Amino acid sequence: MILATDEATLYLQATTTAVWAPVGQTPWTLAHPGREKTSFYGSLELRTGIETVTQVQTMNSEATAEHLQAVLDRYPEAPILLLWDRAPWHGGVAVQQIVADNPRLELLKFPTAAPDLNPQEHVWKAAREATSHNHNVRDLPSLAERFQRHLTEHTFCYSFLEKYNHDTLCAMFK
């Protein structure tokens, strides 16, 4: 299995984007005064477009290890190549322990400052467009549930494997 992993933070404050509306019916969005937030780890299986998602309050080594365990549980027998960025919470004792305990899990880091290489970034963009742009949801748990449901109920096609030659990539990690 080849997966691309990343994290995203979801705020209750709506992000705005242009929309069409009938003349005289200006759309409105809720302006929340606080900065309530929750975070998500997401791993996109590059061949199927299926997403594994974990909601957490804080991104740290323990939360990262929790998400890695969810990925391992989802694919219990398969060797896993996980592509991700160089976030500081991708290290630490909890992550090192998960990797040490699971030799079928191999980690490969994207180059520094290259989010455009990570297919998971496209997943976050699609989920935000569908759930958190111009929304009027009044509580963070409802918005987070909507966001997570979108991630798990949709597949996300991305040509990463074709772009970087899937056969060559697989041969590198045998």
φ/ψ of 71, rounded to 5, equals -65, -45
Distance between alpha carbon 102 and the CA centroid of its chain, in Å?
22
**Mean pLDDT computed over 154-166:** 71
**Mean pLDDT computed over 63-79:** 97
Distance between alpha carbon 168 and the CA centroid of its chain, in Å?
25
**Mean pLDDT computed over 69-94:** 95
Half-sphere exposure of 148 (CA within 13 A, CB side): 15
**Mean pLDDT computed over 89-118:** 93
Instruction: Give the mean pLDDT of the chain.
Output: 86
User: Which residues, in sequence order, are bridge partners of residue 109?
Assistant: 84
**Mean pLDDT computed over 10-29:** 73
Q: In the numeric block, which tokens belong to residue 132?
A: 């958190």
What is residue 17's predicted lDDT score, i.e. its pLDDT?
A: 65
pLDDT above 90 for 12: no
CA distances from 79 to 53, 76, 104 (A): 19, 9, 5
What is residue 134's predicted lDDT score, i.e. its pLDDT?
A: 65
* Domains delineated in the chain: 2-10+34-172 (3.30.420.10)
Angle between helices 61-74 and 93-101 (to 10 degrees): 20
What is residue 160's predicted lDDT score, i.e. its pLDDT?
A: 64
**Mean pLDDT computed over 112-132:** 89
Q: Which residue has the higher pLDDT, 18 or 71?
A: 71
Q: pLDDT tens across 35-62, in order?
A: 788 999 999 999 899 999 999 999 999 9
| Beta-sheet pairing, 51-56 with 37-45 | antiparallel
- The lowest-confidence range among 68-72, 125-129, 149-153, 158-162 is 158-162
Of 106, 131, 119, the closest CA to residue 17 belongs to: 131
What is residue 170's predicted lDDT score, i.e. its pLDDT?
A: 53
105 three-state secondary structure: strand
Radius of gyration of the chain (CA): 18
Name the pTM for this structure: 0.82
- Which secondary-structure segment (H or E) carries 2? strand 2-11
